[in-house]
Amino acid sequence: MSRNAGRVQAVHQIVNRELMPPKTPPCLEDIWAENVFNLTKMQSSLPKAVFKSIKKTIVTGEELDPSIADSVATAMRDWAMSKGALYYAHVFYPMTNLTAEKHDGFISVQGDGNTISEFSGKVLIQGEPDGSSFPNGGIRDTFEARGYTGWDVTSPAYIMETDNGATLCIPTVFVSWTGEALDKKVPLLRSIAAMDKAAHKVLTLLGNDEVARVNSSCGAEQEYFLVDANFASQRPDLLLAGRTLFGKAPAKGQEFDDHYFGAIPERVQVYMQDVEAMLYKLGIPAKTRHNEVAPGQFEIAPFFEAANVASDHQQLIMTVLKHTAKKHGFVCLLHEKPFAGINGSGKHVNWSVGNSTQGNLLDPGDSPHENAQFLVFCGAVIRGVHRYGPLMRAAIATASNDHRLGANEAPPAIMSVYLGTQLEEVFEQIKTGSVSDSKQKGVMDLGVAVLPTLTKDAGDRNRTSPFAFTGNRFEFRAVGSNQSVAGPLIVLNTMLADSLDWIGNRLESELDKGTELNVAIITVLKELMEEHSAVVFGGNGYSEEWHKMAVDERGLENLPTTADALPVLKKEYIEDLFEKTSVLTPVELASRFEVYSEQYILSIEVESKLVIDMVKTMIYPAAVEYLSQLSSTISSLLDLGVTFDKESITTVAELSNSMMQATAKLSEAIAKHDFASTDEQMQYCATTLRPLMDEVRTHVDALEGEIDDTFWPLPTYQEMLFIK
């Protein structure tokens, strides 16, 4: 059998596959949130007093009154069982960016041997998963081995339908016995509380009588690739690392942009419909879907929601994308850079803050009061990015996102803010003190001062900025497609809390001096911009000039790799930030550094081993076999006296040799284990192992271009990207 038999068979299967017939999409009203135990369902199934109490808990984020827990649990169980669920699961979000579940049956065996279905308030409120398999960064070594999960009442329970049946899923926090956060949800909830507290003070100082709880909102655009499972199953790299470690660029890539504007292929469209139906049942407002720039790449974006719910929903979207792909014979790749030389996948985190009394605080308003409020919150964001840009970088640092940041069409690893020409001008004027006080048409009225007016939909989009203002929100474009959005949201909320706290204190002391409010606002914002305007950048973030200017002239940090970025978590000012906002204790922060750095090192080690395995067991044998055929043919020709160029033999032989030499270097390099520190080991991964892997790849990809295609064992880029 020839070496490419698997590929040939895969193509055959794909081309002849029976298409899943398009279903008539179900009526949205019929299925919307049918699998969610939401307020409506609680209202119809709970006694009035209990419903009132739980509703209050959900709105205020206070703790659930234990005396109503049994009543809620019974209603929830009855609802779940009526929908066929026999199991329930506490769902939690460990530090690994994954979603974890502990399943239990409702069934309980009584003393008399009879079984009843049992699900008490206690079980609803608290679970005890075997937490030992989740990384804790040393927290539980120093404290207690047990970990607990507890229902986050602000995120509704839902039913997950899989081929194995239905399960009632309860979104929970995951903490150690001593209360340390072992997950991403606890710090997210704390960051929202910190931001609310600081925002409340500022809004009160700005003269608002009534100030409701301030929350942050998130709408995350998710990019992903679909590859046929017949191909993916023949690529150990896709299976184990989620990306291709080798692969020659196809003659045609994304140059024509024909994928972006093209129609969604029918097979993919049927898949998307299935995904959407599933999401609608789960009450997830999936809204936009389209092709992305790269062939085989797509995007799904839900309508924005409160950050905590959006974060849980985002995890569910990733789960549903992957599960549904299997049903349709696809593999859904969420890796940031599955194919070298082709656009990567990000997760654009759209983020804003607001409440029910003042509305979206990042939306410029119509009145002088609203304009001033907007500028204060926007200023707070600018200060946050300037002070904590390196932390934002650390929040998106993973081995896989390193491939994307700074690569084609992806934001750079230097954090800056894009405001749009108009808003940038407004802040520039505040900084230079050149706000005019003559009222004219088309100006932004601040009471005392007038500034150029802002058109609502800032048309000028800057796609090269990692963090851009887009009219009424900021878009954090550097987040990785594989990541939980909780990490970036925690950082954004926390840095905003810190900035609002600073602004609140400064405003207060100005007002205490008797300064008029509007003058005080301008004074504080002027001071803020004098200190922090270096982070505002409207130019081309991809350009080399910016990389130089950002670092040399503006003093911004360029942290190209995860190895450079994660140590930021150990800096004293970062520890201070998290401690004073009560988002993470020093122990909790240290544990995050441990977990994230370990994951970084592990992923690079796994990939290195895979490179070696694939070269030795797949690529080299193919090259040798081809060489032997080639050389025997050519020597027979030469024996016959035919002139024949031997260069093709030399080329393949030389490439194979160089490939094996580079592989040997990599083998030797991964054997090193004596490192003085985690930082040193991460640097070793970034500066020694990664480049060696790339070196091997260069030779492999060149070989792919030299060898008879029937000898090539791996599905090619061309096949994976273009055959659906």
Residues that bind ligand ADP (CB under 6 A): 217-219, 221, 288, 301-304, 348, 350-352, 360, 472-473
**Eight-state DSSP code of residue 236:** H
- Extract the tokens encoding 395: 């929040």
Q: Which residue is nearest to ligand ADP (CB)?
A: 219
201 vs 348 by CB, closer to Mg ion = 348
Q: Which residue is nearest to Mg ion (CB)?
A: 348
Rounded to the nearest whole angstrom, what is the least distance from the CB of residue 656 to ligand ADP in the complex? 45
**Residue 298 binds which entry of Mg ion, ligand ADP, none, CB below 5-8 Å type-dependent:** none
**Residue 217 binds which entry of Mg ion, ligand ADP, none, CB below 5-8 Å type-dependent:** ligand ADP
**Residue 473 binds which entry of ligand ADP, Mg ion, none, CB below 5-8 Å type-dependent:** ligand ADP
43 vs 288 by CB, closer to ligand ADP = 288
125 vs 218 by CB, closer to ligand ADP = 218
Rounded to the nearest whole angstrom, what is the least distance from the CB of residue 317 to ligand ADP in the complex? 11
What's the sign of the alpha-carbon dihedral 242, 608, 616, 707? positive
Count of all residues that appear for the chain in the document: 724
319 vs 472 by CB, closer to ligand ADP = 472
* Cβ atoms within 10 Å of 616's Cβ, excluding its own: 13
Q: What CA–CA distance (Å, rounded) separates 243 from 403?
A: 10
Phi, then psi, of 492 in degrees rounded to 5: -60, -45
237 vs 475 by CB, closer to ligand ADP = 475
218 vs 396 by CB, closer to ligand ADP = 218
Q: What CA–CA distance (Å, rounded) separates 550 from 544?
A: 10
* Cβ atoms within 10 Å of 599's Cβ, excluding its own: 18
**Residue 356 binds which entry of ligand ADP, Mg ion, none, CB below 5-8 Å type-dependent:** none
**Eight-state DSSP code of residue 288:** E
176 vs 314 by CB, closer to ligand ADP = 314
Rounded to the nearest whole angstrom, what is the least distance from the CB of residue 43 to Mg ion in the complex? 36
Return the amino acid letter for 113.
G
Cα of 275 vs its chain's centroid, Å: 19
Rounded to the nearest whole angstrom, what is the least distance from the CB of residue 353 to ligand ADP in the complex? 8
Contacting range for Mg ion; rule: CB under 5 A; set: 348-356, 489-497, 553-561, 653-661: 348-356
Q: Are 675 and 681 in contact (CB under 8 A)?
A: yes
Cβ-proximal residues to 479 (8 Å cutoff; 6+ apart), any chain: 220, 346, 347, 348, 349, 396, 401, 485, 488
- Extract the tokens encoding 33: 């949130």
Indicate which single residue of 235, 348, 431, 697 sits in contact with Mg ion (rule: CB under 5 A): 348
- The strand ranges marked E within 40-146 are 85-92, 100-105, 107-109, 115-117, 126-127
267 vs 348 by CB, closer to Mg ion = 348
Rounded to the nearest whole angstrom, what is the least distance from the CB of residue 360 to Mg ion in the complex? 17
Rounded to the nearest whole angstrom, what is the least distance from the CB of residue 352 to Mg ion in the complex? 14
Q: What CA–CA distance (Å, rounded) separates 589 from 336?
A: 25
- Extract the tokens encoding 218: 């998130």
Rounded to the nearest whole angstrom, what is the least distance from the CB of residue 363 to ligand ADP in the complex? 7
Contacting range for Mg ion; rule: CB under 5 A; set: 346-354, 375-383, 415-423, 631-639: 346-354
Rounded to the nearest whole angstrom, what is the least distance from the CB of residue 304 to ligand ADP in the complex? 3
Rounded to the nearest whole angstrom, what is the least distance from the CB of residue 346 to ligand ADP in the complex? 11
Site for Mg ion in 202-221 (CB under 5 A): 221
Rounded to the nearest whole angstrom, what is the least distance from the CB of residue 264 to ligand ADP in the complex? 15
Q: What CA–CA distance (Å, rounded) separates 387 from 474?
A: 17
- Extract the tokens encoding 517: 């409010």
Q: Are 517 and 206 in contact (CB under 8 A)?
A: yes
**Residue 472 binds which entry of ligand ADP, Mg ion, none, CB below 5-8 Å type-dependent:** ligand ADP
Q: What CA–CA distance (Å, rounded) separates 231 from 140?
A: 42
Q: Any contact of residue 592 with Mg ion (CB under 5 A)?
A: no
**Residue 402 binds which entry of ligand ADP, Mg ion, none, CB below 5-8 Å type-dependent:** none
**Residue 99 binds which entry of Mg ion, ligand ADP, none, CB below 5-8 Å type-dependent:** none
Task: Identify the three-state secondary structure at position 39.
Answer: helix
Contacting range for Mg ion; rule: CB under 5 A; set: 69-77, 227-235, 342-350, 557-565: 342-350
* Cβ atoms within 10 Å of 532's Cβ, excluding its own: 20
CB crowding 269-284: b at 16 or more within 10 Å, else e: ebbbbbbbbbbbbbbb
Q: What CA–CA distance (Å, rounded) separates 318 from 703?
A: 36
102 vs 348 by CB, closer to Mg ion = 348
Q: Which residues bind Mg ion (CB under 5 A)?
A: 221, 348
